[in-house]
Structure 1
Amino acid sequence: MKKAKNRTASTVATMLVIALAILSFYFYWSYRTKPLEETSPENMTEIQKLLNKDLNQNYPETAREVTKLFGNMMKNLYDNNSDEEIEALALKIRELYDEEFLVANPEDSYLQNLYSDIASWKEANRRISNYNLVDSDMVEEQELEGVKYTVIYLAFTIQENGKFTETWKMMLRQDKEKKWKILGWQVVPSDTQTN
């Protein structure tokens, strides 16, 4: 009788240990895979995708691709984000800028001007609803002293009391590593826009 009680007690103890091990493994596996699901590309916001883009390893190969990425970043930058997201994306955009442009626009003043601009956009209930590159035959390319330059037109569709288009003349220069960097831009007056 004593042996039967001991066997029953040891069986219950063994089953309890196995059940605890299974539960522990289940909870470990459940919580371990959730962060992976949350950061999978399907579950990421567009800003998260842009922020996770490794421009050191996967820099856009052409001036058009750089301009297109810039347009996407600008569209998302002006779209009701937290200050942390704005700053992170603004710093990511700076990776597309030419060294000369970065020197002329120090990070602190760049961020201060950007926050001010975004605040005025919010106040005016203004946002970028779309962007696109203007016809490829509008691209202007030239080479000066062995350095390649190009001009690409980028059109933003902006919503503010209706829709209107604002076209930017983007100036890019190829750096020593053959990467196209944004040298600057200017807004094309609406009476001469190319769209």
Structure 2
Amino acid sequence: MGEKLDRRKQYTRKVLKESMIDMLKQTSINHVTVKTLCEMADINRSTFYTHYRDPYDLLMTIEDEIITDLKNYLNSYSFDQDEESRLMTKKLLEYIEDMPETFRVLLNENSDPAFEKRVMNVAHQFVMSNTYDLDETVSDYYSTYIISGAIHVIKAWIAAERPESTEEMAHLIHAFVNGGTPER
């Protein structure tokens, strides 16, 4: 009986998350209501409140899961090795490619504007902890420059519905980061 409840809870949370992403395609988080989420997910309000306080809590849960996944990905690679850096970028792009609609929505104007900053902060902390040769101030600026550019390239890739493969994008981003013009 406990396993069925767990599956039901997992299913409910899944449909609520999917409904939130679908709603954010059309409207800002400020206009998402529990009522409309429940109608879209085909659940009742009391079920929603069993899992989340409000739409913002649901959105924060979605974002927190992604941030945790990104931290895990980044911490499993060593940034200072050239090939490993490219592989890490490819793996992150594959993660994004597995949930393109989620990232397209979370990185657009209808969602929480703090999400992009949170992603940048995670990447910034990782780059700062793996940049050894630079003065701390220079390293901070370098990290900000690299991460901002990479995130905007990824946003453009997602918006274009990913015409390039993750391998091609990893190569492009890696070339940009290293100050070069990529060869195709």
TM-score (norm 2): 0.37
Higher RCO by CA contacts (8 Å cutoff, separation 6 or greater):
2
| Structure with greater Cα Rg | 1
Structure with bigger strand share is: 1
TM-score (norm 1): 0.35
